[in-house]
Amino acid sequence: MDPVISEQFGRAHPPAAPLDDFLTDLTNAGASAHTRRAYRAGTCCSSPATTATRSAS
């Protein structure tokens, strides 16, 4: 499992396995390291509303 996922969610958290599968699929599809890093960090594809919500909490 990706170390960031296990660190943030723990292995038993329900979305941990699908998130790890998604990152593996990105790697297998040849996504760039920058793309994989952005998805892993949660900074990719955030809408302004999502970003504002994250900042408020």
Cα–Cα dist 29/48, whole Å: 28
Q: How many CA atoms lie within 13 A of 24 on its CB side?
A: 10
Dump pLDDT digits (tens) for 8-57: 888 888 888 888 888 888 889 998 888 888 888 776 655 554 444 455 54
Name the residue range of residue 47's domain.
Answer: 3-56
Residue 7 has pLDDT above 80, yes or no: yes
Structurally, the chain folds into a number of domains equal to 1
Q: In degrees to the nearest 10, what's the CA dihedral of 23, 29, 32, 38? A: -30
**pTM for the whole thing?**
0.59
**E strand or H helix at 52:** helix 48-56
